[in-house]
């Protein structure tokens, strides 16, 4: 067996079996935080499903089923490796379609030259007839008929956008594939570049799949029934720098509220490759094969088909909506993040729709999918609140526990994989606000609820044992043990 690291208690068991196995296999292969791998897999599934149907929620609103994901992770967490594995079939499909597009363009240019020659002949005939006083009725009818037969320009299947601008992306969605993704696993350059100048456009496309793009130098155009998945991974320091400068814009535009935000706990230092270790690849291969199948279905233009909830799933979704709504009152638990909380039921519906499409159920969402999506969204609610919520909303002991856990993660582990620190050392050298016995004890008790902190007696010394991660076996893979 091989073990996977899940210090952030990510709800991996809530994913459908095939997607869960893919996440665990990629995690075992690249040894990136499981939340990050899940974001890569969810974005890939969103990209490959968003063109299949539009989502109808129980309240009647219709929207794309695309997701927006924002992941904060430091350098060395293997953001690129995680995405590279998850997105392999999408990039391969895009390369294949570019080759087909080039061949189609060759045929198009030949047909266009013939069409233009025919049109030129008719125009000359009209001019000649006009000079001689002959009727042009039949010739004009032929020209009108010819105009309707102008060869259509092939549409390029371009899915992935990274180094772009909102205007270029919108034009690409208009002229090329109407199903695409704004993606970057090193999004610092993208954040501070022109790509984030029009966050309102991204919010509008997320909500409705439609937008009007006004341009000064050339013709304006309207986007209708487009689908855009957004997946950005960025270092926390860069995100903090961006928020200090433009945070009000990101939140005020509604863009941040639409993003499923996660801040994975680092597992650097716990990623050894042991002698004889091997990785099960069949789950990844099945995942890639399924994504390729989904991409082949009407890939250039999102379908007008509707995916909706069955009666039982609708009841579960409405219960979620009402529960979250009640917690957004002025003194409610989510009052400090009501912008994000108000979108979480929508995100749950989207995740459920993607799960359903992945499993081949493209018309109706069953109750099992919305139950799974609800638990996943509960985790993302906690992540958003921890990252952007008001500190006064989080109990002091829990704040201290989070601070203590992050500090303990900086201490080198021993041979058994545990971290051992004398309690007196924490009181002397730990985080400043935990250098009192009462605050430290409360933080330890809170952290101890996860079953990862123990207080030991070594002679007269009190020692804190911290297990940096929960370790759960992955069946069918070679054992991974600590040194």
- Compute the average pLDDT of residues 276-304: 83
- Compute the average pLDDT of residues 55-76: 93
Residues whose CB is less than 8 angstroms from the CB of residue 110 and which lie 6 or more positions away in sequence, other chains included: none
Give pLDDT, residue 469: 60
Give pLDDT, residue 400: 84
To 10 degrees, the CA torsion angle through 120, 121, 123, 127?
130
* DSSP 3-state of 150: coil
Give pLDDT, residue 482: 25
Give pLDDT, residue 414: 79
Domain boundaries, the chain: 2-95+156-391, 395-467
Strands 68-72 and 211-213 turn out to be unpaired
Q: Please list, residue by residue across 152-182, b when 16 or more beta carbons sit within 10 angstroms of its beta carbon and e when fewer do.
A: eebebbbbbbeebebeebbbbbeebbbbbbb
Q: What is the mean pLDDT of the chain?
A: 86
CB 313 within 8 A of CB 363: no
CB 10 within 8 A of CB 34: yes
The residues pairing with 461 across neighbouring beta strands, listed in sequence order, are: 458
Q: Is the pLDDT of residue 392 over 60?
A: no
CB 271 within 8 A of CB 31: yes
Measure the CA–CA gap between 244 and 247, rounded to whole angstroms.
6
CATH class of 395-467: mainly alpha
Q: Is the pLDDT of residue 477 over 60?
A: no
Give pLDDT, residue 89: 95
Q: What percent of the chain has pLDDT over 70?
A: 92
C-beta atoms surrounding 332 within 10 Å: 15
Q: Is the pLDDT of residue 479 over 50?
A: no
Give pLDDT, residue 347: 97
Give pLDDT, residue 286: 96
The residues pairing with 223 across neighbouring beta strands, listed in sequence order, are: 211
Q: Is the pLDDT of residue 471 over 50?
A: no
Which of the residue ranges 172-176, 202-206, 222-226, 275-279 would you say has the lowest mean pLDDT? 275-279
Measure the CA–CA gap between 45 and 38, rounded to whole angstroms.
10
Measure the CA–CA gap between 356 and 362, rounded to whole angstroms.
6
Residue 475 banded pLDDT, cuts 50, 70, 90: very low
Fold equal for 2-95+156-391 and 395-467: no
89-132 pLDDT, tens digit each: 999 999 988 888 888 888 989 989 999 999 999 889 888 888 88
Q: Is the pLDDT of residue 478 over 50?
A: no
Give pLDDT, residue 473: 37
Going by C-alpha positions, the residue among 232, 236, 228 that lies closest to residue 83 is: 232
Residue 393 banded pLDDT, cuts 50, 70, 90: low
Measure the CA–CA gap between 476 and 2, rounded to whole angstroms.
8
- DSSP state string for 156-173: P---EE-S--HHHHHHHH
CB 403 within 8 A of CB 443: yes
Give pLDDT, residue 170: 92
**CA–CA distance from 49 to each of 26, 303, 370, 383, 420 (Å)?**
20, 11, 16, 25, 46
Give pLDDT, residue 476: 35
Q: Is the pLDDT of residue 4 over 90?
A: no
Give pLDDT, residue 394: 66
Location of structure tokens 């990623």: 271
**CA–CA distance from 85 to each of 23, 262, 323, 444 (Å)?**
10, 20, 37, 38
Fold classification of 2-95+156-391 (topology level): Rossmann fold (3.40.50)
Q: Which secondary structure element, helix H or strand E, spans residue 309, and what is its range?
A: strand 306-309
C-beta atoms surrounding 357 within 10 Å: 26
To 10 degrees, the CA torsion angle through 352, 353, 359, 364?
110
How far is residue 303 CA from its own chain's centroid?
A: 21
- Compute the average pLDDT of residues 33-40: 94
To 5 degrees, how large is the angle CA 398–CA 402–CA 404? 110
Give pLDDT, residue 1: 44
Give pLDDT, residue 69: 97
332-349 pLDDT, tens digit each: 888 889 999 999 999 999
211-226 pLDDT, tens digit each: 988 775 667 888 999 9
Q: What is the largest CA-CA distance in the chain?
A: 117
127-165 pLDDT, tens digit each: 888 888 888 888 888 888 888 888 888 888 889 998 888
Q: Is the pLDDT of residue 271 over 80?
A: no
Residue 276 banded pLDDT, cuts 50, 70, 90: low
């Amino acid at each position: 067996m091989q073990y996977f690291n899940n210090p952030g208690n990510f709800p991996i068991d809530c994913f459908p079996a095939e997607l869960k196995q893919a996440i665990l296999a990629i995690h075992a292969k690249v040894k990136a935080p499981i939340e990050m791998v899940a974001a890569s897999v969810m974005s890939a599934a969103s990209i490959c499903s968003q063109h299949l149907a539009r989502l109808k929620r129980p309240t009647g609103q219709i929207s794309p089923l695309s997701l927006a994901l924002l992941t904060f992770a430091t350098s060395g967490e293997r953001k690129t490796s995680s995405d590279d594995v998850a997105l392999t079939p999408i990039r391969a499909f895009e390369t294949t379609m570019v080759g087909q597009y080039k061949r189609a363009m060759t045929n198009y240019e030949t047909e266009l030259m013939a069409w233009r020659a025919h049109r030129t002949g008719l125009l000359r005939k009209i001019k000649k007839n006009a000079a001689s006083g002959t009727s042009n009725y039949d010739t004009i009818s032929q020209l009108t008929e010819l105009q309707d037969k102008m060869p259509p320009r092939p549409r390029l299947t371009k899915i992935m956008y990274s180094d772009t601008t909102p205007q270029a992306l919108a034009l690409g969605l208009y002229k090329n594939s109407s199903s695409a993704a704004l993606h970057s696993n090193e999004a610092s350059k993208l954040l501070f570049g022109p790509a984030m100048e029009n966050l309102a456009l991204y919010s509008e496309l997320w909500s409705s799949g439609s937008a009007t793009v006004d341009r000064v130098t050339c013709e304006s155009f309207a986007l209708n029934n487009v689908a855009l998945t957004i997946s950005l991974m960025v270092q926390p320091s860069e995100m903090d720098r961006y928020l200090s400068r433009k945070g009000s814009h990101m939140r005020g535009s509604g863009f941040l509220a639409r993003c499923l935000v996660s801040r994975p706990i680092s597992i650097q230092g716990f990623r050894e490759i042991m002698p004889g270790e091997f990785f099960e690849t069949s789950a990844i291969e099945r995942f890639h094969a399924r994504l390729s199948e989904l991409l082949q279905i009407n890939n250039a233009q999102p379908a007008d088909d509707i995916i909706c909830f069955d009666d039982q799933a609708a009841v579960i979704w409405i219960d979620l909506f009402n529960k979250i709504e009640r917690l957004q009152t002025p003194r409610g638990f989510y009052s400090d993040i009501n912008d994000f909380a108000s979108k979480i039921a929508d995100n749950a519906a989207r995740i459920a729709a993607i799960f359903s499409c992945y499993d081949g159920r493209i018309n109706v969402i069953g109750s099992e999918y919305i139950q799974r999506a609800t638990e996943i969204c509960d985790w993302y609610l906690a992540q958003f609140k921890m990252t952007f919520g008001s500190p006064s909303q989080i109990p002091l002991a829990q704040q201290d526990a989070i601070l203590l856990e992050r500090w303990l993660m900086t201490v080198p582990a021993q041979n058994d994989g545990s971290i051992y620190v004398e309690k007196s050392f924490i009181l002397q050298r730990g985080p400043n606000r935990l250098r009192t016995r009462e605050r430290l004890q409360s933080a330890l008790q809170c952290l101890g609820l996860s079953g990862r902190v123990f207080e030991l007696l070594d002679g007269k010394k009190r020692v804190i044992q911290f297990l940096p991660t929960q370790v759960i076996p992955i069946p069918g893979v070679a054992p991974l043990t600590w040194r």
